[in-house]
Structure 1
Amino acid sequence: MASGNGGAETASVPQTVEAALADRPIEGRVCLEAGAGVGNTTAGLLAAGAERVYAVTDDADHARTVRERCGAAADRLVVVKADLRETPLRSDAVDLVTAHGLCNVLAPAALDSIAAALTRVASPGAQLVVDDYAPLPDDAAVRALFAVENAATELADGRPALSFYPARFLRRLFAGHGWSFDRQKTLLDPVPWTASHLSAHAAAVRDAAARLPPELGDPLVERADELEATIGSESVGRMYSVAMTLSGDPDPA
């Protein structure tokens, strides 16, 4: 990915983000990172010369992390703490929207309203880059840990923590809001689920279980800890990137 203007002043950019953005027009554009997380794509957009990046997250810790990580480019960065469904940007405000590892933490019921909100703030002809994880193979060991995490959050919060969507599903979703398909590429194959990843997912089980009666939460924590220790790490599955352009005409297909 070309460094554009200001690449030297921004944080390091993961290779998956570089690969996802490499063929998109970014320099001089107004961009939105939807679900900013720790700011991986915000850093990539700033490094590629974006005129301005709106990093939207509903997590105060993530908002703080993005500000600290990308503070050297603070004149081109606006961190917005908000629910994506209520993104406080005017219509037609941005030229490029990214969602890197966002959809897998969204329950199906939230997807369409978020797609509508992202479409509202995008200008005619805007670009969209959605990067996410394909459904895991049936024999993937990490599936069991993710299933325990989903069980814990379903009981505690009434929604799953993780949903893995095929690329074709997300393509159809955004096509229904007027986005036309440009390209699809593989970012990781296999995906390395490291010991630190597994530890984070086991911790998520403990967090959810703490909101449950012990008779429900304790067995889930015990199972999550057992799976974390047994699996250790695993490389399995695929991460993909889909790029689309806002044509303005919803595609019923």
Structure 2
Amino acid sequence: MDVPKTVATALEDRPVEGAVCLEAGAGAGNTTAGLLTRGAARVYAVTNDREHARTTVNRVLEDEDGDDDNSADDRTDRLAVLEADLRKIPLPGDSVDLVTAHGLFNVLPPADLETVAAELTRVAAPGCHLVIDDYEPLPDDAAVRKLFALENAAAELTDGRPALTFYPAAVLRRLFAGYGWEFDRRRTLLEPVPWTEQHLSAHAAVVRERVDRLPDSSGVGETFLERADRLAESIGSESVGEMYSIAMRLPA
């Protein structure tokens, strides 16, 4: 399986082979693919999004490297995709050797941080490794900030919570230190981060999805849509900011 360089770099110094792993927030399944490729004994990919669950299974079944059917079957046997809320993970305590969160925390609102951190700690066995890959807050002059701010405003109107929050690595490090995790290392995965035309179109689409839930009589929706489309088109793409990886460990 073809594993993105950011994922491979984040995992390269972790003891994956033979480990029971949890991918918190499966997304596109790239980290699940990376863990299975590195020889994880079991990977629990947890997501509350049914489409992401299907994407993760399909991602693992890809045959890009010419693997035979037996190899694909082996990967599937070592994978369990769980449709569940990370605030209540359906796994027993002390059952996981390695936890990964690749691009998870930027979609978690501040109100959920403590609950998710507590749950990830609960399922972690003594000596468990934790790898968090996410984004530093964008510079004030980054053009994409305007689109992300619009996305957050639309999300606040419909859901009462932001769609995106970029936490500094130091904030997440302190959060997990409060649950007994010890800091191991920090590294840069991308700098600058390439926010492509495809990425910006996807964020504009999130604005549209939120706006579609607003009452037609509000008059706000059309303004949001016009501005989101205009921003995505005018920006095109932008390379700015940093994607980081921090690793921590529970005492054995």
TM bucket normalised to smaller? over 0.9
Q: Which residue of 2 aligns with 1:146?
A: 148
Query: Structure 1: where are the runs of 5+ without partners?
Result: 1-10, 249-253
Q: Which residue of 2 aligns with 1:13?
A: 3
Percent sequence identity over matched residues?
A: 68
Q: Which residue of 1 aligns with 2:206?
A: 204
**2:238 maps to 1:234:** yes
Moved more, 211-220 or 103-112: 211-220
Q: Which residue of 1 aligns with 2:68?
A: none
Structure 1 stretches of at least 4 aligned residues deviating more than 4 Å after TM superposition: none
Please state how far the C-alpha of 1:134 moved relative to its aligned partner.
0.3
Q: Which residue of 1 aligns with 2:51?
A: 61
For residue 203 of structure 1, what is the amino acid of its counterpart? A
| Alpha-carbon displacement from aligned partner over 1:154-203 (angstroms, at most 9, x marks no partner) | 00110000000000000000000110000000000000000000000000
Q: Which residue of 2 aligns with 1:33?
A: 23
Distance 1:246 1:35 in 2: 20
Please state how far the C-alpha of 1:64 moved relative to its aligned partner.
0.8
TM-score (norm 2): 0.93
Answer whether contact 2:27 2:52 (CA < 8 A) is retained: yes
Distance 2:96 2:78 in 1: 13
**2:79 maps to 1:77:** yes
| Alpha-carbon displacement from aligned partner over 1:98-157 (angstroms, at most 9, x marks no partner) | 000000000000011000000000000100000000000000000000000000000011
Matches for 1:212-251 after TM superposition, within 5 Å: 212-214=214-216, 215-247=219-251
The 3-state SS of whatever aligns with 1:219 is helix
Q: Which residue of 2 aligns with 1:163?
A: 165
The 3-state SS of whatever aligns with 1:136 is coil
Distance 2:95 2:203 in 1: 35
Distance 2:138 2:53 in 1: 30
The 3-state SS of whatever aligns with 2:184 is strand
TM-score (norm 1): 0.93
Please state how far the C-alpha of 1:38 moved relative to its aligned partner.
1.0
For residue 136 of structure 2, what is the amino acid of its counterpart? A
Q: Which residue of 2 aligns with 1:3?
A: none
Query: Structure 2: where are the runs of 5+ without partners?
Result: 62-71
For residue 237 of structure 1, what is the amino acid of its counterpart? G
Counting matched residue pairs gives 238
Matches for 1:171-186 after TM superposition, within 5 Å: 171-186=173-188
Distance 2:114 2:133 in 1: 17
Q: Which residue of 2 aligns with 1:8?
A: none
Distance 1:75 1:140 in 2: 44
| Alpha-carbon displacement from aligned partner over 1:28-82 (angstroms, at most 9, x marks no partner) | 0000000000101000000100000000000001101111221321110000000
Matches for 1:111-122 after TM superposition, within 5 Å: 111-122=113-124
Distance 2:154 2:234 in 1: 20
Q: Which residue of 2 aligns with 1:5?
A: none
Please state how far the C-alpha of 1:210 moved relative to its aligned partner.
0.6
Q: Which residue of 1 aligns with 2:41?
A: 51
Please state how far the C-alpha of 1:217 moved relative to its aligned partner.
1.3
The alignment yields a C-alpha RMSD, in angstroms, of 0.8
Q: Which residue of 2 aligns with 1:195?
A: 197
The 3-state SS of whatever aligns with 2:87 is helix
Answer whether contact 2:30 2:59 (CA < 8 A) is retained: no
For residue 133 of structure 2, what is the amino acid of its counterpart? D
